[in-house]
């Protein structure tokens, strides 16, 4: 499943809708779903890019407004924060679960699958692969190898090329998000074709 970062551009929205993509709504940004199925991101990456602390108030606002209807909600985290990020995420688990039971636990630079394996099973959460780009690409298959045997949902953030979609498919990710199709509708056919080809391959392989 493909999620595009939310946009208000009608042309791009129409193209995404025809292709069957969903939207990723980000806390701290415009909280509109445009009538799409959607997931809710915590906004930590956006804060990181702006060089400001995580905005917990914005996340709470987004959670209360849109959390219940989201496909899933990504717990708050710290970009590149390792164990500190894991502690922060777990401190929010009960509050988020009171609104939506489909929860993804972000993994960040410095974390390894063994850090979260007991949590995935005991707390019934999925994986949201964030972190720095190099680390994410290097470890993607490791997270898929722990998620799939446990039956955990696995999502990869910031996927904006056909090559990275193929990497997600190889890692057995269930979904990905990106901004390319949001900003440039012309890139959508290539990206969508790649995800559909991979889906067909996986169906044939599972027979």
For 149, residues 6+ apart whose C-beta sits below 8 A from its C-beta are none
Domain limits, the chain: 2-206
pTM strictly above 0.85: yes
Distance CA 154, CA 130 (A): 11
What architecture does CATH give domain 2-206? Alpha-Beta Barrel (3.20)
Give percent of the chain above pLDDT 90. 86
**pLDDT tens string 188-197:** 999 999 998 8
Query: Which residue do the tokens 């269930």 mark?
Result: 174
């Amino acid at each position: 499943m493909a999620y595009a970062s939310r946009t208000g551009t009608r042309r791009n929205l129409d193209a995404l809708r025809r292709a069957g993509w969903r939207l990723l709504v980000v806390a701290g940004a415009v909280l509109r779903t445009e009538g799409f199925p959607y997931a809710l991101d915590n906004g930590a990456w956006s804060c990181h890019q702006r060089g400001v602390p995580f905005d917990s108030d914005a996340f709470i606002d987004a959670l209360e407004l849109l959390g219940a209807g989201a496909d899933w909600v990504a717990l708050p985290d710290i970009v590149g924060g390792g164990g500190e990020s894991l502690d922060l995420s777990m401190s929010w688990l009960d509050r988020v679960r009171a609104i939506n039971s489909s929860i993804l636990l972000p993994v960040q630079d410095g974390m390894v699958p063994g850090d979260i394996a007991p949590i995935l099973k005991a707390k019934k959460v999925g994986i949201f692969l964030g972190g720095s780009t190099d680390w994410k690409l290097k470890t993607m298959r490791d997270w898929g190898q722990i998620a799939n045997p446990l039956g955990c949902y696995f999502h990869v953030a910031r996927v904006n090329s056909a090559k990275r979609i193929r990497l997600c498919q190889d890692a057995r990710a269930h979904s990905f998000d990106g901004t390319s199709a949001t900003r440039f509708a012309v890139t959508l056919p290539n990206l969508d074709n790649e995800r559909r080809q991979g889906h067909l391959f996986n169906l044939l392989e599972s027979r």
